[in-house]
Amino acid sequence: MSTRDDVEQFAALLRRLKDRTDRSYGSLARRLNMNTSTLHRYCAGEAVPQD
């Protein structure tokens, strides 16, 4: 699996979590103790966590 495939799979899992919990990006980000825009970038596949 390529790195791009990994990123897309990670983003899809986060989007499913967001949809399943019916939370906004802001609410879910607070729950995960992270910045809202960071979570949005992760869900869009534009960025991935470093660790």
- Quick check: is 39 in a domain? yes
Instruction: Provide the number of structural domains found in the chain.
Output: 1
Q: Are 11 and 44 in contact (CB under 8 A)?
A: yes
Residue 36 counted as domain residue: yes
> Comparing 18 with 2, which gets the higher pLDDT?
18
Q: Tell whether 34 is covered by a domain.
A: yes
User: 40: pLDDT confidence band, cut at 50, 70 and 90?
Assistant: very high
Return d(Cα 22, Cα 7) in angstroms, integer.
22
Find the DSSP H helices in 1-51: 3-21, 25-32, 36-44
Instruction: Indicate if the pLDDT at residue 1 is higher than 80.
Output: no
Average pLDDT score, the chain: 91
Domain coverage including residue 32: 3-44
pLDDT at 20: 94
DSSP for residue 46: S
In a domain, 8, yes or no: yes
The answer to whether residue 15 sits within a structural domain is yes
Mean pLDDT of 8-35: 93
Is residue 50 in a domain?
Answer: no
